[in-house]
Structure 1
Amino acid sequence: MQAFTPLEAGDPERVGPYRIVGRLGSGGMGRVYLARSPGGRATAVKVVHEELAEDPAFRRRFGREVASARRVTGPFTAPVVDADPDADLPWLATAHVPGVALGAAVATHGVWPERFVRALGSGLAEALEAIHRADVVHRDLKPSNVLLAPDGPRVIDFGISVAADDTKLTTTGAVVGSPGYLPPEQLIGREVGPAGDVFALGALLAYATTGTGAFGGGPAYSVNYRVVHEDPDLEGLPEGLAEVVARCLAKDPQRRPGVPELIGELGRWEAADGARGTFTPGTWLPAPVAADVTALRTVPLPLPEEAATTTADADLPTVTVGAAPTAVATARLGAPPARPPLAARLRGAVRRRRTAVLAAAGTLVVLAVAAGLLLPSAFSGSSGRGNGTESSGSPTAAAKQLAVREQWSSGQDLWQPVVADGKVVGEGEDDLLHAVDAESGDVEWTYPSASSLEGVSDGVVVATSNEQGTVQGIALDRGTQVWSVPAEAHTAPGTSFHLYLRVVVAGGTVYVNAMYDLPEGSERSGRYAVSALDAATGRLKWTRPVEYGLSDALAVEDGVLYGGMWEEGGTYFYALDAETGEQRWRYRASEEIGGGATAIKVSGDTVYFGAERGVLHAVDARRGTRLWTYEPDVEVRDWLEPLVVTDGMVLGCTGENNGSVSGSGDVHAVTAATGRPLWSEHTGTEPELHGLLDGSVLFSTEAGTLHAADPRTGESAAQVRLSSGDPDAAAAGDRVYFDGGDGRLHAGRISLTER
């Protein structure tokens, strides 16, 4: 673990008397570097962005803030040691704290027990006392501005804090800070004093305890609205701590406790060994976090000549210092569509189901995309928007030319095609399964049984027949049946098979989500179960009945089966031992029944659940604890498969999924560690991700347009019209296979070149 990233081309070698040796982070005001003082001391140097340095008003304000910050001294702050507000690029140097950011610690290791949260609050309250004693208001206290050191937390980044008597310098109408941690009075334009930092402290304690913000996630304007008008969500906080946090989050700043009161109340925390108020790694930090903090402090400070320069993109550094970029959300406000009845949702599940059968090690990724008729050349436009920093290593998507060149066309159109092992497999208009050679378009085989394609795994095409109640395995290389599992193997006594909601295959086991009919006159019309069957024999390994309903999404990774269910008491996501069916954990996503998982992606120690009512959940895959949630404030609600995790980001699409003709949708990017929104792009028809190609994210719409967007900004000036219809297609690498609107399957090669 290291707290810095290598320098890049164009980074300074020296700022004032400080030798620059690494990058620590970046924010809205500037970039932060790790530096050596002339005497060899580790120092954090913030250099202001050039465009801000050209603003005389900003320079004046920066100079005043430096003077204010110099007055702050205390054991839980990072003191200012040097500054030059008059330099060509103004800079500020503080003592370097080799610690883990609170946000990163919670995202990596989960939520904290109460005694550790109280210790955290005690240290932060002392830090605020020191800040306020210098007549300074921090104004941007948030998880990334709290570093965890062995001897207590450190509050950092006074770069946008303003002296209490200088708030008039803030531009009229401007809101500086981070959603969920800004107090209501700041959002409505009133004077902000020390009580505003108390509000942020309460929000931090709620975050450390639950892993989510006290006012939810989503676009800034929706979070800010809840801060001003709604009560905080303190579910999951222990009773005593919830009472403290609730007082800190009072709407009226006069009703919040003072910092000395909080120090007295939180300072009585006790470690597991009974020691009171002692800040050492073993007493105030959870064990996994303490291990990370201890390991981090053993990383040596590089010598200047050892500070290698790289062109790697470091816009999402290990430690973020400074204000986070403001997210750009192009979503529209509006009420969500009414939830359709069960029958409509089941039809919608069949319509939207992406044909992906997950292999045991995740080696097969099937990308089913919406595209259409190939046109001879690409065109460009400026449809995307973004706010991230472009990678210096290659042109952005907006600076590239996108083209698709036809390779061949075949006489058979295929619905929901899947590309695997050099073949394209799909359902034809004759209701049969077909496989064609991906290079030539020649027909390889036709499977005679009318079946629904589920996907491909380990060289076997998996198909289901709801009429026959079977799941069948078909050899990909020759098109012959290798196994068949009957519904009788997993149908519970007193029920009859009705519908396969989802089927995945991994390690020789078939996992099914199915719905069953109950006898006429029963209180409920149906019952559900998730079951595991031996692919070779059809033998039932285990089954788990579910009372109210199952989500159609399933995923298998490293011997764990992930899915969603509705039970009495709410909607849940779960993790089951894939071999035995024993529950490892169950995570309550909502108190309401409905809104289950529609897209699942496992990456490292995190599982991401996209839900039917528009919320994206990040959950610790080992313990089932919430890491964060993100809820885009858009009219189209359901998350669509696939979700893509890459380079510290989660990419995904939302759409209507209402069981009827597809409507509009949105493409989203959020940070994988915190769920902070990066960008959203609205599409007139439902979008779907292809994946990544040459540093760009590919997505298409059911209007037949293929887009190449910068994954960090969403900027999407590169696009090509494939069709005016509503076709099916699949992408694999630089190839796209699609219905040409003429009853034929077409293959094209995608290219992205510099303009």
Structure 2
Amino acid sequence: MTPRRNTGAGAEAELPEYAGHYRLESRLGSGGMGVVHLARSTSGMKLAVKVVHAEFARDPEFRGRFRQEVAAARKVSGAFTAPVVDADPDADRPWMATLFIPGPTLSGEVKRNGPMDSGQVRRLMAGLAEALRDIHRVGVVHRDLKPSNVLLAEDGPKVIDFGISRPKDSELRTETGKLIGTPPFMAPEQFRRPREVGPAADVFALGSVMVHAATGRGPFDSDSPYVVAYQVVHDEPDLTGVPDDLAPLVRRCLAKEPEDRPTPDELMRELRSVAASYDTQAFIPAQRSGAGATPQPPADQPAPAVRRRVGRRVAVGAGALGLAVVATLASVRLAGSDAPTPAGTHPRTREASFSSWTARPAPGASGMAQCAYGAGKLLCAQSGTVSAFSPADGELVWRRPLATGSGGGPPVVSAGLVQPLTNGGSQLVALDPGSGGEVWKRRLAPGTAVRYTGRTALVAEADGRVTGVDGASGRTLWSRRIAGQGRPTLVSFPGDPLAYATSTSADGSSTRIAAVDPRSGDVRWQARLEGTLEPVGTGGGSVSFLSVGSVYGETKAVVRYTPATRSTRRVALPVASEAAQATVRGDVVYLLATGGSLEAVDMGARKQLWRVETSVSRGSAPVADGRYVYFTAGDGRLLAVDARKGHLVGQTSARLGADSAKVMGAPPAPVLDGGHVYAAAPDGTVFAVAASDPSGW
């Protein structure tokens, strides 16, 4: 590798220009074992490349440990870590390339902005608990979880640096007399018996990390690592400043004996209870009484295993549970002008006679199905199965298992065919809407993202190339990179014939948006707008965005851009809305935030119309029909709010099922069509209610 000069002296004064075929552009940071660089692949994709120090490259033991780091990082899901793109442990200077994740480390964030508030600490703890569950279930123990190894990405915390991690059955052992780790975040057993460290050590470290996030210091604090080591083994932790509702759980994480600490699953269950305690009961309406009312079943009672009609239900009482707050990736909803009818569409009028119904897309399965309306049917994907139901009565029309599984969103109807995403987007499949029979299929490269717009599937590959695929035949219409877009995010909206490619600058100061014709790939217009913007809807010749800031993605304003006049309208929110999801109906944008705030912003009048705190800790994206705003809670409740006044008008009962202890990300949005609302629940069911009468649910 051709060396290049770097400012400064020392062993790393000369740095490589390339690692493999990846050009190293700038230095992101360095640690005891290596230097991390910002790099780009040949196609321009941003990477973080770790190159080990030259002195360690000559150490056979270190090379073995580096191979283990690469193997461990590859085993863990990319949902909670930086996915490995490439690596060469046998190079003269061993290196590993991962996807570059923008965002500060926890240590940098606390140093710059001070301790986090209680809500941020709670969300961080839930996200890290889920990350540890993901790491441990593939047999890996991290062993060095600390604030500098936690990246605060917009979609939740990411755990990085598996440099001293090891599989539980690894033969690579720590040498006698050597302690590997960071003392303030090491568990007692890492000092007493380092060869017997297991997953519980990571839970201890999580407790220490949470104290740091809440207070800016550790639970065991001293300038001397030897004093810290003694405190970790013998003293009680100092939890002064930790939120009162989290302190008992953090104390359990910091138990001296591994068997006394909670597992990540137990942590998530406890955190859901903490999140539920924040729900406001004032939002829950009075129960209906009198003729036609049906007794309310207990909130934790699972729904029946078979489809049945249900009568009117009264609102859930104060015992209803909220969904835990977890920073996870929300499901991408796929829609287009020829796609299932999603948020904000005009419901078509059908006959007034309608009875609520419940059905199971995949018998025996739990978890929330992904559903959409199209081709005259309710189409649901769940547990590798796609099912079609009659929207009127819930009768099963057909059910088809998919050999490669399903994931990534609800089925889409494109060019008259049902097209579910399979196996996280590794394959496109088109099914006959009448029978579920396969019409065509097409394999995709790993790491692709798919967005349907009308009769076209837009496939965005990891290198930034976008391909238009005809929905009727599966053939390629065009394939190219979109000018001005590195690796774009593609979105589309019902009734809009265009797709929108967006990419944000590295520093988050601007967003480039391009309107793309899905049939030809031609760019109809482009703009560069101020701030980090997420498109949420179109209408009246304008595109609406959420203006997002800070490490947790708080929405600070709603922005509307009109390409015909190149004008931008920005309405600031009185209070930042955390991790908001939104829908657009006419001039009004409705936002539902993590923590339960629901608000309406009138872009024409340039003001907030109303804001209400709900009983939902984390809900779905809202949908609206002009009269009501509907959204789903993680416990299976469907809620309706008056779109003009912001008052809750009705909600269904909770449907938690057997997996009530699991912490979930944002649930899928309800589906609105034909005067009916269709929603999914954690007990594995889908159900339908009349949109016109939320008070009778």
Q: Same fold (TM over 0.5)?
A: no
TM value normalised by structure 1: 0.36
Larger Rg: 1
TM value normalised by structure 2: 0.39
Higher RCO (C-alpha under 8 Å, 6+ residues apart): 1
